[in-house]
Structure 1
């Protein structure tokens, strides 16, 4: 596994902040790549979507909050920002906002995970 190549490809994802993400990983590129793998395997998006389907706003809040933190930890700022918006809506009890924007979050999440998976499996 060529860690430098993986990181350079992840940097190509629009809005990704690798430098900050590395600071969360003790500036260790191997730890960073392992954290990205953990993010993929965690599949937090399924938990978010299941809470959405069940209209369980408390679970939705917990899972979007976790997704937001995971995204920021690995430098996926735009995806983290989308999760934050929905986390804030859940915290405020605004299920109307969630209904209007959950699909957008799920599409961005799925696209990002697919792209990261392709990068790591090359």
Structure 2
């Protein structure tokens, strides 16, 4: 795997700030790519969706919060912002807001993970 090429391709994804992600990874591109791989393997989005399906607001809050933090750590700011909105809603137990916006979060999550997987697997 050509780490520099992977980084270059991730930078092309709208809504990403790889430089910030690299800062969280001690400016080490290899650690950053490994962290992206871990993010993809962890599949926090499935945990968020499962909590939503189960109407488990506490679990939803925990998983949306974790997704938000992971996104910001990787510089996936647009996705992190959407996860933050839903994390904030879960924090105040606003399930109506979550019902209205969960699908948008899941769609964004699937889009980002699909694009990242394509880059990582090249």
For these two proteins, the number of residue pairs brought into alignment is: 122
Q: Give the whole-Å Cα distance in 1 for the aligned partners of 2:15 and 2:118.
A: 18
Note the C-alpha offset of 1:15: 1.8
Q: Give the whole-Å Cα distance in 2 for the aligned partners of 1:112 and 1:84.
A: 16
Task: Say which SS state the counterpart of residue 55 (structure 1) adopts.
Answer: coil
RMSD over equivalenced CA pairs, Å: 0.4
Q: TM-score, normalised by structure 2?
A: 0.99
Q: TM-score, normalised by structure 1?
A: 0.99
Note the C-alpha offset of 1:95: 0.2
Q: Name segments (4+ residues, structure 1) moved above 6 Å.
A: none
Q: Give the whole-Å Cα distance in 1 for the aligned partners of 2:59 and 2:75.
A: 24
**What residue number does 1:34 align with?**
34
**What residue number does 1:50 align with?**
50
Note the C-alpha offset of 1:8: 0.7
Task: Say which SS state the counterpart of residue 118 (structure 1) adopts.
Answer: helix
